[in-house]
Amino acid sequence: MSERLQPGDTAPDFTLPDADGNEVSLAGHKGRKVIVYFYPAALTPGCTKQACDFTDNLELLAGAGYDVIGVSPDKPEKLAKFRDKENLKVTLVGDPSKAVLEQYGAFGEKKLYGKTVTGVIRSTIVVDEDGKVERALYNVRATGHVAKIIKDLGV
């Protein structure tokens, strides 16, 4: 399992395909704050709730200078289905190799229904305008998480 990021660390750059197969990179957002959130799978109840919460608050976050990128191990085709079915406005990118998930410490052992399994650790990393980690939140809950971030960021 990779190390978890800490505030002050340089956020690892990445370039991943979005739901339409276009490349999205963290470097392309330099000069803006970015909320990068990692979720286990598109089209599942918890991940849908979280993505809808981000979509519902996207205008508020964008107005405060934040871009939002959701990362999962899904392929672009599944992300497109997810986006279209739920009318999502957040940028969704796929990391089937799980390389970026691992760089961010968002893949590894976790508890699921009392059992230890290996998988995506629901995490949110807030990156500042200079590409540094401002906040690193791991094992977050799908429900209520977006409201908590907004409150913590003072948006």
pLDDT in tens, 66-79: 999 999 999 999 99
pLDDT band with cut points at 50, 70 and 90 for residue 112: confident
State CA 77 to chain mean position distance. Answer: 18
pTM here is 0.94
Instruction: Establish whether 47 is a catalytic residue.
Output: yes
Helices 45-56/145-153 angle, 10° precision: 40
Q: Minimal CA–CA distance to 129: which of 75, 81, 76, 64? A: 64
Q: Which two tokens stand for residue 83?
A: 């986006």
pLDDT band with cut points at 50, 70 and 90 for residue 1: very low
Distance in Å from the first CA to the final CA of the chain: 33
> What is the overall mean pLDDT for the chain?
94
Q: Which two tokens stand for residue 114?
A: 């009392």
Q: What's the rounded Cα separation, in Å, for the pair 116 and 107?
A: 13
Catalytic pick from 47, 80, 120, 142? 47
Q: What's the rounded Cα separation, in Å, for the pair 25 and 2?
A: 21
Q: Minimal CA–CA distance to 44: which of 18, 74, 17? A: 74
pLDDT band with cut points at 50, 70 and 90 for residue 2: low
- pLDDT mean over 110-139: 92
Q: Which two tokens stand for residue 32?
A: 């803006």
Cα dihedral 59/107/109/139 (nearest 10) = -10
* 78 bridge partner residues: none
